[in-house]
Amino acid sequence: MSSAVEFLQRFQQRVVQDHIPVSASMALTHRCALQCRFCYCRGAKLSCAEASADSWCRWLDEAVDAGCLHLLLTGGDPMIRADFPRIYQHARSRGLLVTVFASGLSVSDEVLAVFADYPPTTVEVSVYGASEDTYRNLTGLSDAWERVCHGLDRLAAAKVRLHIKTLLMKENQHEFTAIESMARAYGSNFRFDACLFPTLGGDPSPLKQRVPPEQAVELEFLDPERCGVWSRFAQGQSEDDTDDRLYQCGAGTTAFHIDPDGMFRPCLMVRDFGVNLHGVPLASAWKETLAHMQALRMPPDMPCRGCDKQAYCGYCPAYFQVETGDPTRRVDYMCEIGHLRWKKIHATI
């Protein structure tokens, strides 16, 4: 084992052991030029006042002081803010490794200039179709397809490292291979998700766009590279089923999220707990959040407890709560996908 690998393993162990908030996501806004019918923000009471650039820069400083290294700037579309370049530059100047999630519609000269001086780790653009009609139907904007292509072209020409992703839906499934080919043409990594969820405001209508689990998994395993990733993942899984933490991820234990108004949360999807950063330092919010998340445990009768397929379904109590109203009640759609993935993977290893 190389010294670099050993160092990273020790680093990760220290992060988990000491609960260092090494990763953060910050939603700078809920605004976006698109009007997607499946967006988690749609219909929710999320039109909160956005924190100022001064506040974001202060929270970035406090996050770095707490040990943060990896930052996701998201929204809405964070680039829609006129002060995005300032906030982004401040994050990079503090040494943070920054990923930006964007619609591709707000790639201004100012954004490209700051990316040239302070390159992002990646810019991930969500692409929901491969034609004008599909894009218009899904996003509610007549010129969205033309604008997203223009934005991608500008990012690519500026040699920004691009990742393209999509949501697999009934209305765009016929263009799935075209979207993936488009990503390859840009030299971009590509990923997709089929698990749509209700909006954070409780509207279940996005669920109507879900494709059958069998179709989602079949498309996932058409690509040899994705098959290889899953195979290596499966081989690295342990058989330990003694962990009864409700949240098995880093939410609130090694990672956190901040809403546009300054509400500090374990992650974007956890909506039943938060600390207002306008009233307390980030370090205090982290301490309170950590204590809250550590106290959450799986009930003895929770079906996911001890399930050997939990690592394959996208297990997430926050998603469970958004869809079922109960963080301990599994989402059947996710469960079916997990079982199908497990069968596919274990048929080849």
pLDDT tens profile 71-128: 999 999 999 999 999 999 999 999 999 999 999 999 999 999 999 999 999 999 999 9
Q: Identify the bridge partners of residue 257 per DSSP, sorted by sequence position.
A: 25, 265
Tell how far CA 87 is from the center of its chain: 20
Whole-number Å distance between alpha carbons of 275 and 284? 9
Reduced to 3 states (helix: H, G, I; strand: E, B; else coil), residue 275 is strand
pLDDT tens sequence across 293-321: 999 999 999 999 989 899 899 999 999 99
Do the Cβ atoms of 243 and 9 come closer than 8 Å?
no
pLDDT at position 44 over 70: no
Q: What is the pLDDT of residue 46?
A: 54
Give the model's pLDDT for residue 6. Answer: 85
> Which of 328, 326, 324, 323 is CA-nearest to residue 303?
328
349-4-14 Cα angle (round to 5):
90
Note the pLDDT of residue 349.
65
List Cβ neighbours of 295 (8 Å cut-off, separation of 6 or more): none
Domains of the chain: 18-211+247-296 (3.20.20.70)
Supply the pTM of this predicted model.
0.94
Are the C-beta atoms of 277 and 285 separated by less than 8 Å? yes
pLDDT digits (tens, 9 = 90+) for 205-263: 999 999 999 999 999 999 888 898 888 888 877 666 678 999 999 999 999 999 999 99
